[in-house]
A = this chain, B = another copy of it.
Amino acid sequence: MAVAAVDHDLFVELGRQLRVDAIRAADFAGSGHPTSSMSAADLMAVLLARHLRYDFEASRNPANDHLIFSKGHASPLLYAMYVAAGAVSPEELRWYRSSGSRLQGHPTPALPWVDAATGALGQGLGIGAGIALAGQRLDHRDFHVWVLCGDGELAEGSMWEAFEHAGYERLHNLIAIIDVNRLGQRGPTRHGWDTAAYARRIGAFGWHTIEIDGHDVDQIDAAYAEAKDSNLPTAILARTRKGKGVREVENAEGAHGKPVPDAEEAVAELGGPGSVRVEVASPEYEAPRHPDLHSLSIPTYERDGRKVATRTAFGQALAMLGHARSDLVVLDADVSDSTRTSYFAREHPDRFFECYIAEQQMTATAVGMSVRGWLPFAATFAAFWSRAFDFVRMASIGGADLCLAGSHAGVSIGPDGPSQMGLEDLAAFRALWRSTVLYPCDANQTVHLTAAMAEHSGIRYLRTTREDLPVLYGPEETFSVGGSKVLRRSDADDVTIVAAGITVHEALRAADVLADSGIRARVVDLYSIKPVDVATLRAAAADTGRIVTVEDHWPQGGLGDAVLDAFTGATAMPAVIKLGVLALPGSATPTEQLQHAGIDADSVVEAAQELMAV
């Protein structure tokens, strides 16, 4: 494909300008990744000047293309593009990486044009695939998703989850631009400039691949045109030189992640400061879609002695929520029959996404769909959320709105053994920025909390249980994020038992046994693990002075620690015994497991008696 001379020259000039601005930004900051920016500058110049369709004045225009820097450390290049597009003033680059600046070391949605936080490598392509899938299967729009990837990050398995996912779904609107500059942080990558090695691999996953010289603007331009026309997702393998254009750092080891030694000289070598600006093609403005909202008809459960697993109630609630909200989408990682998202899948097949056994890509797809304004619920076993922990971490940093559910929590799953038991999920999800952690103990509560999750923001996690459990609450009872329920109380309680999920039932049994021996136990169902109901816990401490916490989780970082935290901040502390899983479980029945773990009713009784003896 021929490129008009005027375009060719503009591309070259703009590439030069992007390099200059990237170098200067890092120089102002005294840190950053100019060399990783310079390798991709020509790629981004051609994209910005001709192929990207983006309205910088209306980042929420649903007709916009999406541009994701999976290699987030090339932020100086991204910000230089914003300058070239007129969205950011050249002066603002002076604040790159400074306190309070939105031009952070790695891109975050603090900038309106950034869809998702990147910087942990291997995540941007998966998020792009999620956006592209939303475009095809939910939004039915023909925007493109452009993802700038590094070659180093192709070592991350998550990239191959994304390639597989996008290839299988034939996401022709997804274009991966891979900046093969052959140098990682420490030194050469595995395959160096062997773009054919990458093309073979990516092609095998059902992608169209194009190998080019990443500094030849005509080849770049032709590759983009070909990619846009492809009926498959396209990967452009661009052979580039890190630090391109500045002799001292070009293709040099040891020049990663630091300003060029002499920025002024480098800028001069590139032909001087310049001020090339481009008009970015903008799609016509269209208003964002608004979801249809209907009143929610929730499933209810009677206290008639029948038992219902909280995972089942979650699945049933989710199916009903799907009727109430047209923007709700559900994802699962090949365990929908266990997590019970299968109920949603049956009633709303168009909004259910099977992600196969790929928890990282499931999370990335969810993030991508949330970027497009959908509300994703994603589910797998609680234990397997540990597989996607870095993705959830980055989603929380990026402010993504995700509802996540983990089933089969705790030792109470029984014979499957420890590999299938979520015993660290409360700790992990609590330790995330602006996260919400919920852990219901009965069916009606689960329904309410599932509905509450949908209304909340940030990362919300719901922990469900495999075993069928008695229905404790009437359907009329209400529950809120940050709340708790006092299930037993008297005017003269001796001790408080704080539990959640399956241990609430153990706590109630323990309270009965204690009552027989004249010990009055208050029982608190702490279904909201984060935020925690400080007032109720402090009142219980004031009234009883003694607290037993009991949880189906390791003793670290979960419910017990959340309870202790309620007594920080210059308040009076009660005496506390924390019960959590004592020892590495093996296989056993659920009842045996609770007993061996030291979290059954008998263990609670013993702990309460020990506190009474103090």
Contacts and interface: CB of A to CB of B under 8 A. Distances in A.
A357 B184 contact: yes
A565 interface: yes
Interface residues of A, number: 118
Contacts of A31: 414-416
A387 B575 CA distance: 37
Contacts of A577: 568-570
A99 interface: yes
Contacts of A101: 586-587
Nearest to A155: B356
> Interface centre among A153, A190, A336, A554, by most B CB within 10 Å?
A190
A342 B122 CA distance: 23
Interface in A591-614: 592, 596, 610-611, 613-614
Interface stretch (A48-56, A233-241, A430-438): A430-438
Contacts of A397: 418-419, 584
Contact of A568 (B96, B571, B578): B578
A57 interface: no
A389 B428 contact: yes
A567 B577 CA distance: 9
A264 interface: no
Given A556-B561, A570-B610, A576-B568, A419 B185 contact: no
A589 interface: yes
Contact of A416 (B105, B565, B611): B105
A556 B554 contact: no
Contact of A419 (B72, B334, B572, B573): B72
Interface stretch (A59-67, A198-206, A219-227): A198-206
Given A334-B152, A588-B99, A390 B387 contact: yes
A186 interface: yes
Q: How many copies does the complex hold?
A: 2
B106 A434 contact: no
A324 interface: no
A418 B120 contact: no
A564 B19 CA distance: 51
A156 B384 CA distance: 12
A586 B100 CA distance: 7
B389 A384 contact: no
A104 B592 CA distance: 14
A419 B158 contact: no
A386 B359 CA distance: 14
A570 B105 contact: no
Contact of A427 (B557, B570, B571, B587): B557
A334 B423 CA distance: 31
Interface of A: 29, 31-32, 72, 96-106, 108, 110, 117-122, 152-153, 155-161, 164, 168, 184-186, 189-190, 200-201, 203-205, 332, 334-338, 342, 354, 356-358, 360-361, 383-384, 386-387, 389-390, 393-394, 397, 414-420, 423-424, 426-428, 430-434, 530, 553-558, 560-562, 564-565, 567-578, 584, 586-589, 592, 596, 610-611, 613-614
Given A156-B161, A201-B204, 10 more contacts: A29-B587, A97-B417, A98-B588, A99-B587, A108-B419, A155-B161, A186-B342, A387-B389, A557-B561, A560-B568
5 contacts: A104-B587, A155-B164, A168-B190, A561-B564, A569-B577
